[in-house]
Amino acid sequence: MTIHTPTTEAQACAVVKSVVDNRVPLTLRGGGTRAGLGRPSQAASTLSSAGLTGITLYEPAEMVIAARAGTPLETVQEALAERGQMLPFEPMDHRPLFGTDGTPTIGAVAACNISGPRRINAGAARDSLIGIRMVNGRGEMVKSGGRVMKNVTGLDLVKLVCGSHGTLGFLTEVTFRVLPKPAEIATLQWRGLSDVEGVALLSRALGSPFEPMAAAHLPAGLAGGEALTLLRLENFPDSIEYRSGELALQLGEYGVPDKLEGEHGATLWRHIRDAAFFAGTEEAVWRLSLKPTDGPKAASAIARMLPDARWFYDWGGGLVWLAVPADGDAGAAPIRAALKPLGGYATLVRAPDAVRASVDVFQPLSEPLMRVTAGIKKSFDPAGILEPGRMYAGV
């Protein structure tokens, strides 16, 4: 296994150019903490971003930060925190779920569109990513977007590449818009609600003027013996006081909420962000994105077919994290069958390599969309050398 570690963009281009002719596929690597995402790598060589590090631009008053792709995520977050700012989308840390160590990089956050609980209100990584520099599969430097948050100049390749898992290009530098950190954070917690009641509560809260920044429901047995329904408020202290009072009042039929402050609330949300309830088990883990009120419907339909399934809800019910036995197709057929009448889609996040090689890790697409997908892949990477087959077999 050859590992290429370019320290300049020109070197990265040269690496890609050198493998185009003999079609030696490359796997792209940041910190390696999320290497289990997607279908198993089919590449013999690795192109690493470890040699491309450092923050290249940070203008707090303009709410923008740029860094080379291999920069540790933590370095970016620390620089932002020093100026009272943060990434808006609360990126998940995959280390608990995958049992990996190593250092997550900012480039992988962009390449895999990694978001967390704040996504329901503040958007995903793709909504905050405003600029990229990358090497395409022809060994050319390509840039898209820039450093300003309002930019409609030309086709938006930034979003296309965000979440493409390295199949379209090797990111060398990424630029994100950032936000001020909230002055205060508080969590309201209701106990003992059913899935349907919990998601109904979250829907009402998200449809209120009080702007919950995160909304999750944990069925009984995940974090203690009782089900927990959670709303997170982020604001100035006087607003938090007022808004939590109004929410408790308007959602009075669900009981009186506890108010979690400080580390207890933060730990709970970190577990939700990282799906850490499923850490260290042998189960396969799926991520279902669907219409929020369909979350409980999907979960109960799946539970009828897979009685050992465990799950919880983020994004107001619209994100279901699901753990099922990893044998056979890891539940692919019953899970996708359950989603069929509802809409939405399922992604297999964690499973043994053999399973991820044999089932569709990403939701199969309609025939015309699959054709577009293959065409886009070819337009960036005609020789098929960048993470071939990572998202879809043969693409």
Burial string for 94-127 (b: 16+ CB within 10 Å, else e) reads bbbbbebeebbbbbbbbbbbbbbbbbbbbebbbb
Cβ-based nearer residue to other proteins, 60 or 334: 60
Element (H, E) at 313: strand 310-314
AA letter at 138:
R
Residue 99 found at the interface with other proteins (CB under 8 A): no
Cβ-based nearer residue to other proteins, 221 or 245: 245
Q: Output the smallest distance, CB 200 to other proteins, in A.
A: 8
Q: Give the footprint of other proteins on residues 9-48 (CB under 8 A).
A: none
**How distant, in Å, are the alpha carbons of 1, 42, 151, 372, 389 from that of 385?**
15, 10, 31, 19, 10
Cβ-based nearer residue to other proteins, 99 or 180: 180
Q: Give the footprint of other proteins on residues 146-185 (CB under 8 A).
A: 146-160, 162-164, 168, 179-183
Single out the residue of 124, 193, 332, 385 in contact with other proteins (rule: CB under 8 A): 124
Element (H, E) at 104: none
Residue 112 found at the interface with other proteins (CB under 8 A): no
Q: Output the smallest distance, CB 292 to other proteins, in A.
A: 5
Q: What is residue 111's three-state secondary structure?
A: helix
Q: Are 57 and 176 in contact (CB under 8 A)?
A: no
Q: Output the smallest distance, CB 176 to other proteins, in A.
A: 14
The full length of the chain comes to 395
Q: Give the footprint of other proteins on residues 339-378 (CB under 8 A).
A: 343-345, 347, 362-363, 365-366, 368-369, 372-373, 375-376, 378
Q: Are 46 and 108 in contact (CB under 8 A)?
A: no
Cβ-based nearer residue to other proteins, 32 or 312: 312
Q: How many residues bind other proteins (CB under 8 A)?
A: 82
Q: Output the smallest distance, CB 101 to other proteins, in A.
A: 27
Q: Name the token pair of 280.
A: 């260290």
Cβ-based nearer residue to other proteins, 32 or 388: 388
Residue 203 found at the interface with other proteins (CB under 8 A): yes
CA dist 115 and 124 (Å) reads 5
